[in-house]
Amino acid sequence: MILHININAKWLENDKDAIDRLVNENMNWKLDQYLQKFEWDDKVCDLKLTLKKNKKSLFNGILQVIVDWKIFRYEREDYKKLDDLINHFFDHFKEELANS
């Protein structure tokens, strides 16, 4: 599977390493079993993660994943911790993969 990751995190430059680490951990460790059903050499997985801080200094985000022409999209607001938001997205993605 070919994985394309696009992370848009304006004004969160200081958190870039943590964001990259969390995305890679989730895709390579937590979801690898669930993504195996899509494991063919010609399959493409496009992951787009958009994160920003709102006026309340809380985190908002959108995760969109397209794999084998199936679209998974999650949007959440007002998270205190950035890692909780990112992990929450991938938990929902994992649940949806398990049920499909």
pLDDT tens string 10-27? 889 899 999 999 999 998
How far is Cα 19 from Cα 7, in angstroms, rounded to an integer? 8
Enumerate residues 6+ apart whose C-beta is below 8 A from 54: 60, 77, 78
Q: What is the predicted pLDDT for the residue at 38?
A: 67
Q: Measuring CA to CA, which residue among 95, 65, 89 is closest to residue 77?
A: 89
- Helices 16-25, 82-99: inter-axial angle, 10-degree rounding: 20
Q: How confident is the model at residue 92 (pLDDT cuts 50, 70, 90)?
A: very high
Assign 97 to helix, strand or coil. helix
Tokens coding 36? 């195996």
pLDDT tens string 65-80? 998 788 999 999 999 9
Domains of the chain: 2-99 (3.30.160.100)
